[in-house]
Amino acid sequence: MHLSLSQVSAAHPAARRGAAPALRGITLSLRPGEQAALIGPSGAGKTTLLQVAAAALRPASGRVDLDGIDPWTLPVRALQRLRGRLLLAPQVPPLPPRQRVITSVLAARLPAMGFWTSLRSLFYPVDIPGAHAALERFDLAEKLFERVDRLSGGERQRVGLARALLAPANLWLVDEPLSALDPRRAEQAIDALVDEARARGATLLASLHQVDVALARFTRVIGLRDGALFFDLPAAEVTAERLRQLYAQHEDELRAPAAQDTSAPGPKPVVMHCR
């Protein structure tokens, strides 16, 4: 799916009156199948941007285009159908606690199912092998019939990502998919997402606090700061200096190993982690 934002400004729905907007004049576009990482300090507006791109939050001004359509001009049913073609994966997936993992994962297919099929699938899962294969990508196949409330935070996050693989979507908007994962699982999870999106030709925009992962796994990196676009560059052009400026006054979120030569340009010598 082609995603385009033009001069988009937006406020958080719960923001105080007069508060600074969460997004200010954002213009960017992703071609169908393109992948980009979204980075920036806490509160920069990454989640808000993903919500606006997913037509989940209406911008205060500016225009959103999804395959050339402004979602906010559509009638309700058409807007729902359009939302069924994209996936917004929140940082903490809203999984019903007493549900089995398989049901949660297969819920990704609900928008494409009829009412009776979706009701039946609650009791007789429709695609056990598909759910198993998706969970296997995240090392979770053995939890297929486990209850969600018996999973750790990181396991729940991986269930949410496995769900993404089953969604019939061609725009994936993924919010901090690695926040609860250890480094090995994080690597495995980002590889699964990036590879699967590429194999399907799905457009992928992922917000990340792991700057090193963003630079290593994505060819395009978008930096957001105070609700505005700070840079939108090929990963190879994101220098240590640019990162320092992006995270200025938020250095606690950006840590470089002491022995590192952070003055050298290019992403290769910079190993940085946020939080």
Ligand X SMILES: Nc1ncnc2c1ncn2[C@@H]1O[C@H](COP(=O)(O)OP(=O)(O)OP(=O)(O)O)[C@@H](O)[C@H]1O
**Residues in the site for ligand X, rule: CB under 6 A?**
12, 14-15, 19, 22, 40, 42-48
CB of 5 to ligand X, least distance (A): 14
Q: How far is the CB of 188 from ligand X (least distance, A)?
A: 22
Q: Per the structure block, which two tokens stand in for 32?
A: 């169908």
For ligand X, the closer CB: 40 or 154: 40
Phi and psi torsions of 228, nearest 5°: -120, 160
Quick one: CA dihedral 46, 47, 52, 54, positive or negative? positive
Q: Kindly state the smallest distance separating residue 223's Cβ from ligand X, in Å.
A: 11
- What is the DSSP track for 63-120? EEEETTB-GGGS-HHHHHHHHTTEEEE-SS----TTSBHHHHHHGGGGGGS-HHHHHH
CB nearer to ligand X: give 14 or 76. Answer: 14
Shortest spacing between CB 14 and ligand X, in angstroms: 4
C-alpha distances (whole Å) from 225 to each of 40, 42, 49, 229, 231 are: 6, 9, 12, 6, 9
Q: What share of the chain is helix, strand, coil (3-state, %, to 5)?
A: 40, 20, 40
| Residue 199 beta carbon to ligand X: minimum distance, rounded to whole angstroms | 28
Q: Please, which residue, 15 or 119, has the CB nearer to ligand X? A: 15
